[in-house]
Amino acid sequence: MAQQSFEHLVKNNSAKAGWNISKLNDKQAMLKFIMDSGRVQRVYITKFDSILEFSVPSAAVFECLDDIPNLISSILLTKNTQYKIGEWFVENIQDKLVYSIIQNVNIDSINFGYFISLVHFLVSECDKFDGFLAELYQYNQHINSANFSVI
């Protein structure tokens, strides 16, 4: 069975889903989604031979490993055990460390239904995580600005 063209796969499935493609070449595609939360999520689909990597970077960006909160990493690793598809990891993007959710798939294993389900799942999970981070940030701002003391 001949391997389907990466560009054809992305164009065809995106068109069927009614999605616009922000970037597409023979090695990488980027789909951009405006979520109900108002946040923008980007799915990067990168071709490595016969494997496609679907990656959605979160808003959590760190300068170095020491800056990454252990608690959040533990939460994400625990979430990984609950997923059938997708997993959280830390990737290097433009010399920064970023929490991203990814899935690697053989190009010949992808049909329209799986493509749509995978993209929806990854962007939804990343948006939930980004929402959690926003709430955590607001909570920390509130606590840090409160006038209280501990006896």
CATH assignment of the domain containing 44: 3.30.1460.10
Task: Give the model's pLDDT for residue 137.
Answer: 73
Residue 19: pLDDT band (50, 70, 90) is very high
Residue 150 lies in a domain: no
Specify the length of the chain in residues. Answer: 151
Strands (E), 1-151: 21-24, 28-34, 40-48, 51-62, 87-93, 96-106
Residue 68 lies in a domain: yes
User: What's the whole-number mean pLDDT along residues 82-92?
Assistant: 93
Residue 119 lies in a domain: yes
User: Tens digits of per-residue pLDDT, 108-137?
Assistant: 999 999 999 999 999 999 999 999 888 877
Domain of 60? Answer: 6-145
Contacts of 75 (CB under 8 A, 6+ apart): none
Query: Into how many domains does the chain fold?
Result: 1
Write down the pTM of the prediction: 0.87
Residue 74 lies in a domain: yes
pLDDT at 43 over 80: yes
